Amino acid sequence: MKECLFCKIAAGEIPATKVYEDEQFVVFRDINPQAPTHVLIIPRRHIEKLTDLTESESGLIGQMQLLANKIAEQEGITSGGFRTVFNCGEGAGQSVWHIHMHLLGGRPMTWPPG
């Protein structure tokens, strides 16, 4: 998607601190981190929001979580606990219209989130 910020980051057209990338996914540090580790896991494929996922894409979220587990290990935040979050829709705080999983850790997490 030409005008999508995260598509541009995935393509390397806009700089970001990438911590992982492969053919399907890119992981980079959030520009406004809410925890010592705060990265965003995105599929390269442009999908606006969770509710746009189709049956054939249902495996994508599982793959993203497995990748989050791997990055959490890499970041050393597994034993302390971490959180993965999707915001879906404006009311939930989604501000970038390309699905992304937040991975946060490195500090105690409270509940409920704001």
Q: How far is the CB of 64 from ligand DGP (least distance, A)?
A: 14
Query: How many angstroms separate the CA atoms of 18 and 26, rounded?
Result: 7
CA distances 26 to 39, 92, 98, Å, are: 10, 23, 12
Q: How far is the CB of 47 from ligand DGP (least distance, A)?
A: 13
For 86, counting Cβ atoms within 10 Å of its Cβ (0-12 exposed, 13-18 middle, 19+ buried), the class is middle
Q: Catalytic site residue 102? A: no
For residues 34 to 73, the per-residue mask of contacts with ligand DGP, x marking binding by CB under 6 A and - elsewhere, is: ------x---------------------------------
Residues that bind ligand DGP in the complex, under the rule CB under 6 A: 5, 16, 28-32, 40, 87, 93-96
